Chains A and B, each alone.
Chain A
Amino acid sequence: MNFELDEEQVMLKTSARDFLEKECPKKLVRGMMEDEKGYSPELWKKIADLGWLGLTFPEEYGGIGSSFLDLVVLLEECGRALLPAPIISTVVLTGRPILAAGTDEQKKQFLPQITSGEMILTLAFMEASASLEASDITVTATPSGNNFIINGTKLFVPDAHVADYLLCVTRTKDSSNKEEGITLFLVDARTDGIKIEVLETMTGEKLCGVVFNNVAVPKKNILGELDQGWSIMKRVLVEAQVAECAWMIGGARWAMETTIDYAKTRIAFERPIGSFQAIQHKLANIAVEVEGSTSIMYYAAWTIMENDPEMTLAASMAKSWCGETYKHATFDGVQIHGGIGYTWDHDMHLYLKRAKACEVTFGDSDYHREKVAQILKV
């Protein structure tokens, strides 16, 4: 593998950054924190027109046919811009599993509409246990004629309030192997019995609680096989973790670069504070973490692109490392900025909050270190 971006990827990165600097200024980001929808439909349409939503889908579904590696290049820039849009929900958490496991009919139904920006989807996975394990899935789906009836509550569901469809992870069979008996359903979000509540979050991102009360879903809306949904979920989690890493690296780089610029120009004791070793060494540490994050995240993305069996280990290593990097970059970002960094007006807190949110999304660093220990058979 090559461990650096090729020319096309550099072009994608540069054009994405230029576009987002123009179309997604911090004013929009802040506005969307207060906005009911939490995203701008106009910007969403522009992103779809640029081909971002169908980037990794085949041309027959209106996509561009690029690799997962290209997708993370793009997500890094979205993370840098704090793009308020359901792109990870729609593309990584639902679109890609539909492409991987869906029937021809499902692919035709969803992928072209995702690509065109007409349809928003999300994954209803986590519950009140806040667990990533199959054993903690308690929302049930029971057969009834040509339908299944879903009951239970999902929590921390991103963008559910604007989603057209929810990919709902349910238990359809109780067995001693808890990874057996998980089934994924594509559920029309307007079905009777679904109640969506937007939760108040630290970042202003839209996370939802979704209550399913006798929600009827046709059998043909099962994604993959009945009772065999966990194998799809494992792949979804790995991809989600690496996508989250790319998003975090984009933000961590913004925090690092913004802080370096400030340290070069802020004068105290008659010299730029960036000339003090106390500041230099903090920033050198951040540089080590950020470069390390980029290296391990690209490696993890490469394992996904190549379907390499090491992808689970690589994703856990990346999520653990990047989670801490983003936090350190923004914590030191506030510290080095001093008082101004603690104000609402400065943008650093937007990133600091996002770092905290990303840290606990799809498994925190301790969780992933334990995963690594298990894979290494410590």
Chain B
Amino acid sequence: MKELRQRRGRQGTPAPGMGPGRSGAPAPGMGPGRPGAPAPGMGPGGGDEVTRWWNKKLFEAGYVGIAWPKEYGGRGATVMEQVIFNQEMAKRRAPGGAGGLGVGWAGPTIMAAGSEEQKKRFLPKILSGEEVWCQAFSEPEAGSDLANCQTRAVEDGDNYIVNGQKLWTTGGMRADWAILLAKTDFDPATPKHRTFSYFLMDMHSPGVTVRPLRELTGSAAFGETFIDNVRIPKNLMVGEKNNGWYITMGTLEFERSNSSSAIQHLNTIANLIELARKMERNGQPLSKDPVTRQKIAQFYIEASVGKYIGLRALTRQLRGQTPGPESSVGSLLNMELGQRIEDFATYLEGPYSQLMRGKYAIDNGAWPRSFLSSRGRTLATGTSEIKRNVIAQRTLGLPRYTQ
């Protein structure tokens, strides 16, 4: 099993996001669990050699976990300092560290809901990049309808015995640990949301098999994880038994709209302007075409709107206020904008957008590749439809539909 994982590790995605004219949209995470778009160039979940090396550099310089407490290996600085650092990273198109999912999701969840023992055991190694994390929430029959999860965890002495199948395990092939949602109450009378528990699962445990899942891009950034009689010690449950649903929702909350994905869009738009200057139609650059100019300006305006929505959310957070409507609308705006920009870029390329590599391909096919991966943007971390439901019901207070 381990050998299989290692082999796939080498095959894995070609270092994404390094090519010219690229959007910095890494293959997006699928299923509800994934940290938005991490800094460009980072393979989902991290874990390849380059990102591990880069993470070590960042960690040694004290740039991983800037706002995390010192006792767990962080810098103990403010959220504002973390945001400033993220923005600089995004502006310079620097790749993130290996800890994307660990730093973005697993770590904050353990900090918020984990035991002291779990915090001491896991947090420092998330920051140092020694241990790479993946998430195992979605299943074949449980994507948007996550409460339909079927993976079962049954008590057996000091352990739980877990069986099931997870899908869209971001970076699962290379991960050392997973955050896992599994059913622990099997009484059909119990409300669904009270039947789950939240576990930390060693991906090297006997019984864990990860198969790469080939996406429409042709590469495999995600895994299908088969869990066959895997033993998880009871002390690796996070929070209370049967409270896992709420902890999962908390994990998903850490993926808030932030200003760095908007800054990534602004970078992509700068590349788009270059492309429009380069491409000619009817003997003049497309950048002089009024329709093209309108579109590019609109993208720039939208990305700026996304940026300032993120900064309003940050102001509230820094003042200790609860997140307002701006935090839920930002991620919807950003995910759809990212798709439209990529689609328009291939439109500007015209027939050349079909060429994925070779001497005639523009930027060696960078735009069509990022176009393809952008189709997952409105699926990852909750589909855009689910996001609209959430805005309508939680932010605007509209009633749920009931039969």
A interface vs B, CB < 8 Å?
Answer: 2-4, 260, 263-264, 271-272, 274-277, 279-281, 283-285, 287-288, 291-296, 298-299, 317, 320-321, 366, 369-373, 376-378
- Looking at the assembled complex, report how far the CB atom of B259 sits from the nearest CB atom of chain A, in whole angstroms: 10
Are B401 and A317 neighbours in the complex by a CB distance under 8 Å? no
Complex formed: what's the CA distance from A274 to B401 in Å?
9
Q: How many chain B residues have a CB neighbour from A under 8 Å?
A: 46
| In-complex Cβ contact of B398 among A264, A371, A373, A376 (8 A) | A264
Measured between beta carbons, the chain B residues less than 8 angstroms from A295 are 305, 308-309, 311-312, 326
Residues of B contacting A292 with CB < 8 Å?
302, 305-306, 308-309, 329, 333
Query: When A291-B326, A317-B301, A376-B297 are in contact, do A284 and B290 touch as well, CB less than 8 Å?
Result: no
Residues of A within 8 A of B316 (CB): 4
Check if B300 is an interface residue, CB within 8 A of chain A: yes
Of listed A276, A320, A372, residue having the most chain B CB within 10 A:
A372
From B310, which residue of chain A is reached at the shortest CB distance?
A295
B150 at interface by CB-CB < 8 Å: no
CA distance A330 to B395 in the complex (A): 20
Contacts of A298 in B (CB 8 A): 308, 312
Give 12 A-B pairs besides A280-B388, A370-B293 with Cβ atoms closer than 8 angstroms: A4-B312, A277-B389, A285-B388, A287-B391, A287-B395, A288-B329, A288-B333, A291-B329, A292-B306, A294-B326, A369-B301, A376-B296
In whole angstroms, what is the CA distance A280 to B384 when docked?
Answer: 13
- A372, B297: Cβ atoms under 8 Å? yes
Across the interface, do B396 and A378 meet the contact criterion of CB distance under 8 Å?
no
B297 near A275 with CB under 8 A, answer no
A-chain residues with CB within 8 Å of residue B400 when the two chains form the complex: 275
Given contacts A4-B316, A283-B398, contact A291 B296 (CB under 8 A): no
How far apart are the CA atoms of A274 and B397 in the complex, in Å? 9
- The answer to whether B297 touches A370 (Cβ under 8 A) is yes
B354 on interface, CB distance cutoff 8 Å = no
In whole angstroms, how far apart are the Cα atoms of A191 and B119 in the complex?
A: 80
The yes or no answer to B294 lying at the interface (CB within 8 A) is yes
Q: How far is the CB of B341 from chain A (nearest CB, A)?
A: 14
Find out whether the CB atom of A271 lies under 8 angstroms from the CB atom of B402.
yes
Interface centre among B297, B309, B319 (most CB of A within 10 A): B297
**Contacting A373 at CB < 8 Å: which of B293, B304, B315?**
B293
Flag whether B276 is at the interface (Cβ < 8 A): yes
Distance, CA A175 to CA B319, complexed state (A): 54
| B388 neighbours in A (Cβ, 8 Å) | 277, 280-281, 284-285
The answer to whether B399 has its CB under 8 Å from any CB of chain A is yes
Interface contact B309-A281, CB-CB below 8 Å = no
Q: Which listed residue, A264, A299, A377, touches B397 by the CB 8 Å rule?
A: A264
- Contact B296 A272, beta carbon cutoff 8 Å: no
Residues of A within 8 A of B302 (CB): 292, 321
Interface: B1 (CB within 8 A): no
Identity of the chain B residue whose Cβ is nearest the Cβ of A292 in the assembled complex: B305
Given A274-B399, A283-B396, A370-B293, are A291 and B325 neighbors across the interface (CB < 8 Å)? yes
CB distance from A4 to the nearest CB of B (A): 4
Flag if A280 contacts B287 (CB, 8 Å). Answer: no
B150 to chain A, nearest CB (A): 26
Assuming the A-B contacts A295-B308, A317-B305, are A378 and B315 also in contact, with contact meaning beta carbons closer than 8 angstroms in the complex? no
* Least CB distance, A72 to chain B, in whole angstroms: 14
> 1/0 per position for B243-276, CB-CB distance to A under 8 A?
0000000000000000000000000000001001
- Smallest Cβ-Cβ distance to B328: which chain A residue: A287
Contact B401–A369 (Cβ < 8 Å): no
- Is there a chain A Cβ closer than 8 Å to B6's Cβ? no
B106 / chain A contacts, CB cutoff of 8 Å? none
- The 6 A-B pairs of least Cβ separation, nearest first, read A280-B392, A295-B308, A369-B297, A284-B388, A372-B297, A292-B305
A sample of 8 inter-chain contacts (CB < 8 A) reads: A272-B398, A275-B400, A283-B396, A298-B308, A317-B300, A373-B297, A376-B273, A378-B287
User: Which B residues between 351 and 403 are near A, CB-CB below 8 angstroms?
Assistant: 385, 387-389, 391-393, 395-402
Q: Is the CB of B402 within 8 A of A378?
A: no
In the bound complex, what is the Cα–Cα distance between A77 and B65 (angstroms)? 42
Per-residue contact bits, chain B 173-208, to A (CB 8 Å; 1 contact, 0 not): 000000000000000000000000000000000000
A292 to B313, CA, bound (A): 12
A277 touches B298 (CB 8 A): no
Q: Which residue of A lies closest to B304 (CB)?
A: A317
Chain A residues with CB under 8 Å of B319's CB are 4
Q: How far is the CA of A295 from the CA of B332 in the complex (A)?
A: 15
B393 CB contact (under 8 Å) in A4, A280, A285, A296: A280
User: How far is it, in angstroms, between the C-alpha of A377 and the C-alpha of B341 when the chains are bound?
Assistant: 18
Q: Cβ of A321 and Cβ of B398 under 8 Å apart?
A: no
A320–B301 touching, CB < 8 Å: yes
Min CB distance B332 to A, Å, is 6
A272 CB to closest chain B CB, in angstroms? Answer: 5
Contact B301 A288 (CB under 8 A): no
Q: How far is the CA of A123 from the CA of B311 in the complex (A)?
A: 35
* Residue of A271, A296, A377 with highest tally of chain B CB at under 10 A: A296
Contact A378 B392, beta carbon cutoff 8 Å: no
B314 at the interface (CB under 8 A from A): yes
Given known pairs A4-B315, A378-B287, the reply for A272 and B399 (CB within 8 Å) is: yes
**Cβ of B332 and Cβ of A296 under 8 Å apart?**
no
Distance (Å) between the CB of A280 and the closest chain B CB?
Answer: 3
Residues of chain A within 8 A (CB-CB) of B287 are 378
Q: A264-B398, A280-B389, A291-B329 are known contacts. Are A366 and B294 too (CB-CB below 8 A)?
A: yes
Chain B residue at minimum C-beta to C-beta distance from A369: B297
A305 to B18 CA separation, bound complex (whole angstroms): 40
Cα distance A288–B385 in the bound complex, in angstroms: 13
User: B308 and A376: CB pair below 8 A?
Assistant: no
Contact of A378 among B276, B305, B333 (CB under 8 A): B276
Residues of chain A within 8 A (CB-CB) of B300 are 317, 372, 376
- Within the complex, what minimum Cβ distance (angstroms) separates A375 from chain B? 9
Instruction: List residues of chain A with CB within 8 A of the CB of B385.
Output: 277, 281
Contact A3 B293 (CB under 8 A): no
Q: Which residue of chain B is the closest to A261 with respect to CB atoms?
A: B397
A373 touches B392 (CB 8 A): no
Q: How far is the CA of A371 from the CA of B397 in the complex (A)?
A: 38
Could you tell me the distance between the alpha carbons of A274 and B400 in the complex, rounded to whole angstroms? 8
B301 touches A321 (CB 8 A): yes
Do A369 and B294 form a contact, CB below 8 Å, given A281-B392, A284-B332, A376-B273? Answer: yes
What CA separation (Å) do A198 and B88 show in the bound complex?
A: 54
Complex-state Cα separation, A173 to B300, whole angstroms = 38
A372 CB contact (under 8 Å) in B301, B387, B399: B301
